[in-house]
Chains A and B, each alone.
Chain A
Amino acid sequence: MTDASKPDGPMLAADGTPLKKSLARALRLQKMRALALIAPLLIFVLVSFIIPIGSMLFRSVENSMVSETIPLTVAELQNWDAQSGELPNETVYAAFVSDMVVAIEAKRHTRLGSRLNYEQTGMSSLFRKSGRQIRRLDPATDGPFKEQLIDIDKKWGEIGTWATIKTHSVDITNGYFLNAIDMQRTPDGAMSQPEDKRILIKLFQRTLIMSMIITVSCIVLGYPVAWILANLPMRQANVLMILVLLPFWTSLLVRTSAWKVMLQQQGVINEVLVWVGLVADDARLVMINNQFGTVVAMTHILLPFMILPMYSVMQTIQPTYLRAAKSMGATNWTAFWRVYFPLSVPGIGAGSILVFILSIGYYITPEIVGGTKGVFISNRIAYHISSSLNWGLAAALGTILLAVVLVLYWAYDKIVGIDNVKLG
């Protein structure tokens, strides 16, 4: 019997198979086809987005280089207590020489030097210099090595050197994250960096505060523009829209450089001010290579990202709402503030999230117009990626940045509600 309306037991299809199974089979082809259609995108996202981010997250804690390059030393160092106030014994030195001979052969000892140099300056040159000498030693016959190594460089006779190696010999380290928040991993646990090296927290704070200033500037400048766009007749609105989008057609680099021309001390604005007489020739305004320059240029560059979502939300606000408010006795201001503005908040929210997240990770513009005082955390990340080659620290900084954005997103959801965000 195939009584489909049978109240007990699963619903059955006409041929007696459970209805759910039958439905799944009927939809399978459809699902496969849909999956095939999105497969290229899925693969692209996986390769270009998920994997790099995963790799970055991993790199911020990954630290296998020390234990891979000098495995015997790391093993022997486990038996040594840095707190004891004595140097490691001969077995550690012997293990180190055997490790180094292998590492020198593979030309990996300088990389280890660079890695340890992030933690203690001087390590890089120590490894490079010692490498040339240790190459001549034969780990089987030339021992004992303790005195010989201290002769090569007296740093091998310092407890600190060995303590650093031991501290950073773990495979998974929190060292990069500690560095990223101006602390360091020491044999005695996490400690603050010396005063003169604490720059990253300050840089994070500056990045957040300036991004907020930029976001607020974009709201203040963009809101009236979006309002005009939304209320003009279609034809004129389209022309204005082209003006809003015009910056997208120009290279970011060109636009940023244009601000340099405008803002520098021999630039257009200063020349005009001096010519008019508002500013003395010897007291030209410093508007670039500082935070002001960064805020101005980035506000200009990110403004369209604020205007577009605001515009598309405002377009959906019917003009009759304002008329209704006025017919009920509200002044223009009350009608705007109590009716129009609350309805436009989703646009402001969407624009703000967009602008804030874009600006918190901005790199090119602060690099060009920011000088030293107006750079962002992303400039520091770029420095560690391309100049100091401390990718672990760069990854840790990037991970913190990602976490900050997610926390802010969460906070926004709690305060305003993410379903209050409309991009159109």
Chain B
Amino acid sequence: MREENGEPVLADANANDVFVEFERVQKSYDGENLVVKDLNLTMPKGEFLTMLGPSGSGKTTCLMMLAGFETATHGDIRLGGTSINNIPPHKRGIGMVFQNYALFPHMTIAENLSFPLEVRKMGKSEREQKVKNALDMVEMGAFGGRRPAQLSGGQQQRIALARALVFEPELVLMDEPLGALDKQLREKMQFEITNLAHNLGITTVYVTHDQTEALTMSDRVAVFDDGRIQQLDPPDTLYEQPKNSFVAQFIGENNTLEGVVKEINNGIALVQLDDGELIDCMPVHDSVIPGARTRVSIRPERVEYNKERLQEGVHTLKAEVMEFIYMGDIFRTRLNVAGNDEFIIKTRNAPDVERLKPGQQIEIGWLPEDCRALDA
């Protein structure tokens, strides 16, 4: 669709061009509590950005402010350089996919898709052509004459997507569009939506509370909590280098140990855990200075118990195996480490991997850069 305006816009072709911008945006519904606190966010054209967070974190409110259904209490929202604070939703030209699809039940699929073109006073033949193209795009060409109620959830989802794209908006917002689908269909649709968005070069803001969805689909993910963006990074950075304990906890599975920072040498912090043992960590959070309490975070798959594979000279911890769960592709073992009996490690099911037994005493370790010292 975008090809008509010239060359296809790639996701990071002109990353310096700010397309969507939130500047110091605040939102309050009752005049007492801020739902969104000081939101700053810029998006280049063609980016697929996901707003991820628990319910009540302000992510949907941000989406609704961008769509124009909520007004910002303070701050500026800009689209393509112009402030859209006072532009009503129907003049913003933003496509939107809703959680429950919001397909008009009294219209056929073709009429649903034709609606945005009709209100734009487009001619009949042009309308029909575009509707046909959009239906073909989501592989639903044969369903134009049906009513939404006659379609399955996945099919309705495709139609909702086609309807949001048929009038060729530059920005598309999606509010948990896959929430109502079953797991298998959801994974299929995740793939299709990202493909479509990238092929058409559309800028997409996607809201979800499903972290897998966020990681697999997005160019960048904004993790929301308590009305603020906690971290805004590409998925791999977000997963491997969480900047604070909330992000570390919220994205993926995570083990935490608490202790006090003893010293920081060559970018490696020595942390004394509450039971006295010492570990090496990467100081990440600003609050990690000698003498401060910290919470260290280690991903279960980065923990090593095979002594031969451990780096020379790193500190190790004693651990007792509590439970061993065979999950097919991986082994999931629960340990008691430094008083934390919810310490999980994950091991790939490879021929040379030892299957641990409950009660077994082992020593565990990790690379210092995988163990991140965060805010307490």
Contact = CB atoms under 8 A, between A and B. Distances in A.
Interface of A: 318, 320-321, 323-332, 334-335, 338-339, 342-343
Contact of B67 (A325, A327, A329, A343): A327
B93 interface: yes
A323 B115 contact: no
Contacts of B116: 328-330
Contact of A318 (B100, B120, B173): B100
B119 interface: yes
Contact of B119 (A318, A320, A321, A329): A329
B150 to A, nearest CB: 16
Given A318-B100, A320-B98, A320-B100, A328 B167 contact: yes
B106 A324 contact: no
Interface in B70-96: 88-96
B81 to A, nearest CB: 21
Nearest to A322: B102
Contacts of B94: 327
Nearest to A328: B116
A331 B115 CA distance: 12
B89 A338 contact: no
Top 10 A-B residue pairs of the complex, sorted by shortest distance between their CB atoms = A328-B116, A324-B102, A327-B96, A320-B102, A326-B89, A330-B119, A326-B90, A342-B106, A329-B119, A320-B98
B219 to A, nearest CB: 23
A240 to B, nearest CB: 22
A207 B92 CA distance: 52
**Dominant SS at the B interface?**
loop
Q: Which of A320, A327, A330, A339 has the most CB of B within 10 A?
A: A327
A318 B163 CA distance: 18
B105 interface: yes
15 contacts: A320-B102, A323-B69, A323-B102, A324-B98, A325-B104, A326-B89, A327-B89, A327-B164, A328-B90, A328-B119, A329-B167, A331-B90, A332-B90, A338-B115, A343-B106
A332 B106 CA distance: 18
Contacts of B173: 327
A108 to B, nearest CB: 64
Contact of A321 (B90, B92, B104, B167): B104
A343 B120 contact: no
A334 B118 CA distance: 10
A334 B121 CA distance: 12
B163 A328 contact: yes
A318 B105 CA distance: 11
A327 B202 CA distance: 16
Interface in B97-142: 98-100, 102, 104-106, 115-116, 119-120
Nearest to A339: B104
A205 to B, nearest CB: 35
* Residue of A324, A330, A335 ringed by the most chain B CB atoms within 10 A: A324
Contacts of B104: 321, 324-325, 339, 343
A327 B90 CA distance: 5
B98 A325 contact: no
Contacts of A334: 119
A329 B96 contact: no
